[in-house]
Amino acid sequence: MYYYPAYVSVAQKKARAERKRNALKKKNPKIQPVIIEGRTLAGTWWGKSWNRNLEQYADYANRIGRGRSYVRHGAVLDLQITPGTIKALVAGSAGPPYRVSITIQPIPKKQWRHIQARCKGQMDSLKQLLAGQFPKTLEELFTRKGEGLFPAPEEISLDCSCPDWAVMCKHVAAVLYGVGARLDQDPSLFFVLRKADVKDLVSETVKAGKKELLTRSRQKSSRIMEDQAGLSALFGIDLEKGAAPDEPPAPSEPPSRKIKNAAGVETFFKRRTKRLTRVAEVIEKSDMDPQKVRNILFRLVQLGKLERVSRGVYRWAR
């Protein structure tokens, strides 16, 4: 006699995941769940490229598809990305959530030097990169199989506390798709995962630009000095020392009421005009969930109201 599990609708699965998420949030308010809005798992070309990269490897082809429904239904209750490591909690059909751990090897030095060399001369693209946007011109460079930022299967270690014998279980697959959704919001996490510093790309380009300017004249004319200052201002890098200058301390502000919604975030930045503001400051002054604050900032950048200066640092752009 065969046993078939009772049918569970999509709405029921989402409701069950939401109950588990709320229960977990009471114990740990800092959880960062993956919430998929709409039909697509990723909207940007880089988020979609992450998913395609995973799906094109034969090692994962027979397993990764099982995670799609899990991440769509909100089963990824928490997803934390740190340098080279992904930690997550994924809801199962019953019992406590499963713990998923994914380790990604640092990008090989030779491979990283190759990317640096190919980025030289692409200042406009690198400026967009520092502003939190992945320019389309760098797509082929970053996604090239075996040569870009995307890890190959042998560079990824997977582990899940569930009883499934397979390395690529549905919980791990759900987390990997969740990473694609998270990269949608913050593409700089590509560099965090591979333990690479995006400023390395900028530094090499600035050095090349400086060398080119100096070869045009035997003396540092005022025009060359202005050009160097322009490069420094563009990328926030001291050309003489090769390091980012210290940010001057911000003047103290009078105490204000807590930020409660997207309009409050927008007003907060308007009052600060062109001053640099870190995400942590906005979160500290807000009553909202940290992930919701990040989503609002990402949306304001898309609308052209905010400019992302570097990872986690923004300023009013209008």
What the block records as the tokens of 230 is 């322009």
The dihedrals phi and psi of 296, each to the nearest 5 degrees, come to: -65, -45
Euclidean distance between CA atoms 313 and 166, whole angstroms: 41
* Long-range CB contact pairs, 307-313, < 8 A, 24+: 307/131, 308/130, 308/131, 308/132, 308/133, 309/130, 309/131, 309/236, 309/276, 310/130, 310/236, 311/132, 311/186, 311/188, 311/198, 312/278, 312/279, 312/280, 313/276, 313/277, 313/278, 313/279
Euclidean distance between CA atoms 256 and 1, whole angstroms: 67
Sequence ranges of the domains in the chain: 10-107+149-193, 198-235, 262-316
Euclidean distance between CA atoms 103 and 159, whole angstroms: 9
Q: What is the pLDDT of residue 123?
A: 62
Q: What is the pLDDT of residue 101?
A: 95
Q: What is the pLDDT along the chain (318 residues), one digit of tens a residue?
A: 445 556 667 788 888 888 889 988 898 888 999 988 777 888 888 888 888 877 776 566 666 777 888 998 899 999 999 999 999 999 987 788 999 999 999 999 888 888 877 777 666 666 666 665 667 777 777 777 777 888 888 888 999 999 888 778 889 999 999 999 998 888 888 888 999 887 777 666 565 554 544 455 444 444 444 444 444 444 444 444 444 444 444 454 455 578 888 888 888 888 887 688 888 888 888 888 888 888 888 888 888 888 887 777 888 887
Q: Are 70 and 173 in contact (CB under 8 A)?
A: yes
CB-CB neighbours of 300 under 10 Å = 20
The dihedrals phi and psi of 76, each to the nearest 5 degrees, come to: -80, 95
Q: What is the pLDDT of residue 103?
A: 95
Q: What is the pLDDT of residue 280?
A: 83
What the block records as the tokens of 257 is 């009421």
Q: What is the pLDDT of residue 174?
A: 92
Q: Are 17 and 26 in contact (CB under 8 A)?
A: no
Q: Are 34 and 100 in contact (CB under 8 A)?
A: no
CB-CB neighbours of 28 under 10 Å = 10
Q: What is the pLDDT of residue 57?
A: 66
Euclidean distance between CA atoms 183 and 191, whole angstroms: 11
What the block records as the tokens of 235 is 């990328």
Q: Are 99 and 161 in contact (CB under 8 A)?
A: yes
262-316, CATH topology level: Arc Repressor Mutant, subunit A (1.10.10)
Q: What is the pLDDT of residue 75?
A: 92
- 246: nearest Cα among 256, 254, 236, 255: 236
Euclidean distance between CA atoms 73 and 175, whole angstroms: 12
Euclidean distance between CA atoms 96 and 99, whole angstroms: 9
Q: What is the pLDDT of residue 141?
A: 73
CB-CB neighbours of 244 under 10 Å = 15
Residues 6+ apart with CB under 8 A from 91: 16, 17, 20, 21, 74, 75, 77, 97, 98
